[in-house]
Amino acid sequence: MASTATLRKPASGFRISRKMLPYVLSLPALLVCIGILIPFITAVIYSFQRYRLSQPWARQFNWGENYLNFFTDPAFWNTLKVSLLYAGLTVTLELLLGLGIALLLQRRSTVNNFISIMLLLPLMIAPALAALMWKLMTNPSFGILSYLASQIGLHDFRWASSPSTALLTVVLVDIWVYTPFIMILLLAGLRSLPTQPFEAAALDGVPRTFVFFRITLPMLTPYILTATLFRLLDSIQQFDIIYAMTQGGPGNTLTVFQVEAYLNFFQSTNVGRSAALMVILWAITYFLSNVFIKNWLRLRERARGEA
């Protein structure tokens, strides 16, 4: 390839050297995103300031105070606990359920393919609107789920409006929306596995539990890891479902990181604390996304190799 050749833009004498071309092509995309890096840096600066919108005159650097205060702040520990609980519960349950459904639909048949397409629909509904759907279904005066709960003896089951069941309810909505995500990734994984090991095992009469734990599961692991990390990254940052369903309530039952930061900023106008919360969440997601990207790259290379 003649790498030193220069390119002539049609209708003008403007020359772009071959070396510059890729930069020129990717620069606009980069420029649009660079604007986002500035507020990111600003957020980090805010997190080291005492900054309340209600008292702008008292704004000053207090260095690590926002962070140090978290150690003795029960609200922060609650945020951390709820966020981890939410992420842990949703991802674990979605993984088990998604794997189960993928195994059920593994064989290619018209019915299975049809069902797997149908199951994609919840994933395509905006999470905020999905929460609204479930809010209508769990409404105490006419919600179908409240009615069904009362039919099985759970009278006055208050779903998201009771502190004891609020987490359960939003986790349920999350499972409804995102299980299909894990399901389709694992289904694609299952269907792409080589068939020889399974045929050999069947010929030798190997028990099916053994096949599942010793052949299927190990070969599926890269897919499971990618799907899990993907979901974990989103779930630890969940905002839409929780905010649309309860706005973090009742009380502070569901004040996960992003909801708490939002409420801190707009309701208690404590910008410093809000920013510090977001920086901590960013640190968590940065760590997770590095692990994720490594895994994802390996899987991606494999997919490209097979193509």
Partner 1 sequence: MENTSTLERTLRLIALTLVVVFFMFPIFWIFLMSFQTNETILAIPPSIVFTPTLSNYAALITGKLTTAAGSLDIAFMRNLGNSIFLSVTSVALALVLGVPAAYAFARHKFKGSEDIAFTLLSFRFAPPLLVLLPLTQYFQWLGLSDTYFGLIWVYQLICLPLILWIVRGYFEDISADVEYAYRIAGHTWFATFRKIALPLAGPGIAAAGLLAFIFAWNNFVFALVLASADKQPVTVGALAFVTSSGIQYGQIASAIVLSVAPTLALALYAQRYLVEGLSLGAVKG
Interactions with partner 1, residue window 259-278 (CB under 8 A): 261-262, 265, 271, 274-275, 278
> Can residue 157 be called a binding residue for partner 1 (CB under 8 A)?
no
Residues between 223 and 262 with contacts to partner 1, criterion CB under 8 A: 223, 226, 230, 233, 237, 239-240, 243-244, 257-258, 261-262
Unique residue bearing structure tokens 């969940």: 238
d(CA 138, CA 14): 64
Taking alpha carbons only, the member of 275, 303, 305, 293 closest to residue 66 is 275
Q: Give dist(CA 131, CA 125) in Å, integer.
A: 10
Q: Which stretch binds partner 1 (CB under 8 A): 72-80, 86-94, 96-104, 152-160?
A: 96-104
The residue among 17 and 72 lying less far from partner 1, judged by its C-beta, is: 17
- Encoded one letter per residue, x for contact with partner 1 by CB under 8 A and - for no contact, window 166-205 reads ----------x--xxx--xx--xx--x-------------
- Contact segment (CB under 8 A) with partner 1 among 68-76, 86-94, 117-125, 163-171 equals 117-125
Tokens linked to 161: 């409006």
Closest separation in Å from C-beta 255 to partner 1: 13
Measured from the CB atom, the residue of 166 and 245 that comes closer to partner 1 is 245
Cα distance between residue 30 and residue 27, in whole Å: 5
Closest distance to partner 1 from the beta carbon of 59 (Å): 12
Does position 21 interact with partner 1 (CB under 8 A)? The reply is yes
Count residues contacting partner 1 (CB under 8 A)?
Answer: 98
Alpha-carbon distance of 246 to 188, in angstroms, equals 35
Q: Would you count residue 70 as binding partner 1 (CB under 8 A)?
A: no
Report the residue from 43, 84, 89, 93 that binds partner 1 according to the rule CB under 8 A: 43
Select the residue interacting with partner 1 from 139, 161, 162, 252 (CB under 8 A): 139
Closest separation between CB of residue 164 and partner 1, Å? 23
* One of 121, 205, 209, 218 touching partner 1 (CB under 8 A): 121
Cα angle 42-46-47, degrees, rounded to a multiple of 5: 120
Q: Which stretch binds partner 1 (CB under 8 A): 75-83, 132-140, 156-164, 212-220?
A: 132-140
**Residue 289 makes contact with partner 1 by CB under 8 A:** yes
Q: Which stretch binds partner 1 (CB under 8 A): 37-45, 57-65, 68-76, 156-164?
A: 37-45
**Closest approach of Cβ 141 to partner 1, in Å?**
7
- CA-wise closest residue to 187 among 105, 294, 277: 105
Is 96 among the residues that bind partner 1 (CB under 8 A)? no
| Least distance between partner 1 and beta carbon 195 (Å) | 12
| Least distance between partner 1 and beta carbon 282 (Å) | 5
Contacts 24+ apart (CB under 8 A), 55-62: 62/272
